[in-house]
Amino acid sequence: MTTTASTTEPVANARDLALAHYAARGVLEHVLTRHGITFQQQIALRTALTADTPQTPDDLVAQIQDSLKTDPADIRTTLDALLAKQLLDTDGPHLRPTDAGRKLIAAVGAETAPVSARIWGGIPAADLTAAGRVLALVTERANAELAALTA
């Protein structure tokens, strides 16, 4: 009797998602450390930089909390650190990235671009599309579960 090996594709699960997240985040944090900022500071600065309209501290806290699911007091500390580093500046009731903040985000982007290309390169478009759909659904469901837990 002859048997053939089964070639099944791995099925993604929560652990795989977490491992991929932390592996990619580790690469980013390595770069951020060289630039003297933390992951949360980079997220806050990028949020301020990519906003369509000027943001108040409360606006930024809400957006960052929605992304990182972290304590608003920690986010305010992060914004204060960015102000102290002169990467953000006040403009009336709003916070705006400074030229130094813009240059920092550009430098981090330039440094991580070739690494990202090596990580993501060669993955078939159909796989990326399917992964995008799955990740969007997982995010939606996890956000709903978190909202129910904190209601």
C-alpha–C-alpha distance, residues 97 and 59, integer Å? 14
In this predicted structure, the answer to whether residue 96 has a pLDDT above a threshold of 70 is yes
Going from the C-alpha of 2 to that of each of 5, 13, 71, 90, the distances in angstroms are 10, 33, 59, 73
Q: Which tens digits make up the pLDDT trace of 125-145?
A: 999 999 999 999 999 999 999
CATH 3.30.930.10 corresponds to the domain 34-111? no
| Residue with token string 């594709």 | 9
- The predicted model gives 95-110 an average pLDDT of 98
Q: Which tens digits make up the pLDDT trace of 59-80?
A: 999 999 999 999 999 999 999 9
pLDDT-derived band at 8 (thresholds 50, 70, 90) equals confident
Residue 17 and residue 25 in contact, taking contact as beta carbons nearer than 8 Å: no
Q: Which tens digits make up the pLDDT trace of 27-53?
A: 999 999 999 999 999 999 999 999 999
pLDDT value at residue 151: 86
C-alpha–C-alpha distance, residues 104 and 110, integer Å? 10
Which sign, positive or negative, has the C-alpha torsion 77, 79, 80, 82? Answer: positive
